[in-house]
Each structure stands twice: as structure tokens, then as C-alpha cells.
Amino acid sequence: MSSLQAQISKILTWSCVDGPGNRIVLFLQGCNFNCITCHNPHTIGRCNDCGDCIADCPTDALMLEGGKIRFDPALCTHCDACLAACSINANPMVQTYSVHDILTLLGKHKDFVSGITVSGGEATMQLPFTKALFTEMGRDPALAHLTRFIDTNGYLGAAAWTTVLDVTDGVMLDIKAFDCDTHRQLTGRDNARVLDSARMLHTAGKLYELRYLMVPSQTDTAGEIESLMAFTQSLEGPVRVRLNAFRTHGVRGEAAAWPAMEREQVEAAARALAEKSTGPVILPALW
Ligand code: SF4
Ligand code: SF4
């Protein structure tokens, strides 16, 4: 049994929007993008134990012990004041879970879910844990029927993908923009590796779904939607595409003042895509 552990900001024991069927979802802490449209910006940073958030906790649920931040869940009222206090988008409430902990959780829920999705933050930032977890699931006769999915920003390099694909059933991958400058402005990173990952995963038969976030005046333009169409057509065989609509819930900074994406425009883009698409075009699960 692997002794690997992961820093996890949240676990859902039931979700129907994070891959096929009902799924347990692990939201890993830490991301290599810095998306200005992120709905959960407190999942981006890794805590450096500075202690700056302690004074903002109204219930004394946070403390420094041996130079490390410690969180007492029994005292927490989930007010999120500590998240607002952190200047590096970290979360002092993150918990450490071992592979064994998650296998135990899966054992309790195995009759009620279709599988597990590792999300984030960025799921691939703690890849050895994910690989060990998926491998152990496959070896356990009681859990081997559960599917194993990754929800990613696609920035992982091809060599690293190959280490985990044989134990992964499917990947949901976000493309934030096709224009490189727009992608860099929205995420802080280039999009070349994202597009390479999408191509490689599709060729390997592991790309379950491409996700595309429509942001008004940024990624809803005719040029971007045409690029999305052209990209899906360039992949051999059907590609499932999910359009998502920008909302300001949880968003910090300048994007919090941006308008929400109109439903009519998303539906019009979906119709245009469906005309030329080789696979299903899915509308947002949440508006
Ligand atoms: S969560 Fe942020 S403010 Fe709190 S100790 Fe960690 S880095 Fe410092
Ligand atoms: S969310 Fe919990 S730990 Fe954070 S400030 Fe509020 S009570 Fe304290």
C-alpha cells in the first residue's frame, strides 16, 4: 500500500457534474495557472505557514504549532474569513489525506457512485498520489468497477501523462482560449501545452470531454468559436465538447466586475458547433 499523501481542499461524496454518473470528487490544493476567472481562487496557492490569517479567524480555529499552521475543524464555522485574509490564494483549512484514507472513503460509497474524479486546483500537480490511488483502486476487487477520471487544465507535459494514463479511464480538459495572448492574459500561461495535451489524450482514447469557458468579449468571439470548431475537427473521431458560461460567483479582482455570459449566446455557439461537430456539444450544467 502506498504511503503517499495529498493536500486536499475539499471532498464531495456525490457530484453529477464532474464526469459521467455520480462521482466522488477530490479537489486537490495548488494550481500552476492563475486564472482571473477562477471560481475557487483559494485553491490556487500552497500555504507557506506565514500565520497571517490566524488573527482573522473569529473562533480561534487556526494556530501555529511548531511553525506550521494548524486547523481545528471542530471550531470552524465556515465563515471563510481566513480565505479572504490570505494574500497568496492559499487555504489554511486544507487537510492531508493518504491513499489509504481515500480508498476507505471509496469503500464506504462504492455502491452509490460510478467512480472518482481528481480535480483541483490542478489535479496533475500531485500526480504521484493520483497514480498511486488509481493503481490501488484497480488492484482492489471491491473498487475495480469504479471509473477513474482526471479534470485538468492540460498543462502537464506528455511524458508525465504517459505515467498515469494506463490507470486512468478518462480526462476532462479545459481549453481557456485559442488565441495565445488571450490565454496568457486569462491564465498567466501559454496554451501550446494545453492543446498538445488535448491532442495526445484524444489519440490515446482518454479524452472524455473538452471544456471551453465562454467569457464575454474574451472567448465568446466568432474567431474563438471558429478556432474551437477547427480544433475539434482536426482531431480524428468524435469529440465531446462542453461549453461553460462565465459567472462571477467566487471570482476575485477585475474579473469580478465582468458581465456574466448570456445564455442565448452560449446556445447559439452550441448550435454552430453542433452543425460541424463530430461529437456531442453539451450546454453548461449550471447557469
Ligand atoms: S493560508 Fe495564507 S495567510 Fe494563512 S498561513 Fe497559509 S499562507 Fe499564511
Ligand atoms: S473558515 Fe473556519 S478557520 Fe477560516 S476564519 Fe472562518 S472559522 Fe476560522
| Domain segments of the chain as ranges | 5-42+95-282, 48-85
Is ligand 2 within 6 A of the CB of residue 86?
no
pLDDT of residue 20: 96
Strand partners, 229: none
Q: Which amino acid is at 171?
A: V
CA separation, residue 48 to residues 39, 69, 97, 275 (Å) = 22, 9, 19, 49
- The atom number, within ligand 1, closest to the CA of 51 reads 5
Closest CA to 225 of 182, 172, 193: 182
Is ligand 1 within 6 A of the CB of residue 20?
no
Residue 241 in 3-state DSSP?
Answer: strand
pLDDT of residue 3: 86
Residue 231's φ and ψ, nearest 5 degrees, are: -65, -45
CA separation, residue 185 to residues 216, 265, 267 (Å) = 14, 22, 25
The 8-class DSSP code of residue 261 comes to P
Is ligand 2 within 6 A of the CB of residue 62?
yes
Strand 241-245's sheet: what is its strand order? 95-98, 5-15, 23-28, 115-119, 147-152, 170-175, 207-214, 241-245, 281-282
- Residues of the chain below pLDDT 70: none
Pairing of strands 68-71, 95-98: unpaired
Estimate to the nearest angstrom the gap between the alpha carbon of 72 and the chain centroid. 26
pLDDT of residue 271: 95
pLDDT of residue 278: 81
Q: Whose CA is nearest to atom 5 of ligand 2?
A: 57
Is ligand 1 within 6 A of the CB of residue 48?
yes
Is ligand 1 within 6 A of the CB of residue 146?
no
Is ligand 2 within 6 A of the CB of residue 249?
no
Q: Whose CA is nearest to atom 8 of ligand 2?
A: 57
pLDDT in tens, 125-169: 999 999 999 999 999 999 999 999 999 999 999 999 999 999 999
Q: Are 225 and 273 in contact (CB under 8 A)?
A: yes
Q: Whose CA is nearest to atom 2 of ligand 2?
A: 76
Q: Which amino acid is at 67?
A: G
Residue 63's φ and ψ, nearest 5 degrees, are: -155, 160
Is ligand 2 within 6 A of the CB of residue 93?
yes
Strand partners, 148: 116
Pairing of strands 68-71, 62-65: antiparallel
Q: Are 61 and 76 in contact (CB under 8 A)?
A: yes
Helix H or strand E encompassing 237: none
CA–CA gap between residue 57 and residue 61 (Å, rounded) = 7
What is the CATH T-level fold of the domain 48-85, as seen in this structure? Answer: Alpha-Beta Plaits (3.30.70)
CA separation, residue 255 to residues 69, 151, 176, 219, 249 (Å) = 30, 23, 14, 13, 10
Q: Compute, in angstroms, the gap from residue 70 CA to the centroid of ligand 2.
A: 12
Q: What is the pTM of this model?
A: 0.95
pLDDT of residue 2: 78
Residue whose C-alpha cell reads 498567466 in the numeric block: 188
Q: Classify 5-42+95-282 by CATH class.
A: alpha beta
Q: Whose CA is nearest to atom 7 of ligand 1?
A: 47
CA–CA gap between residue 208 and residue 206 (Å, rounded) = 6
Q: Compute, in angstroms, the gap from residue 201 CA to the centroid of ligand 2.
A: 39
Q: Compute, in angstroms, the gap from residue 285 CA to the centroid of ligand 2.
A: 30
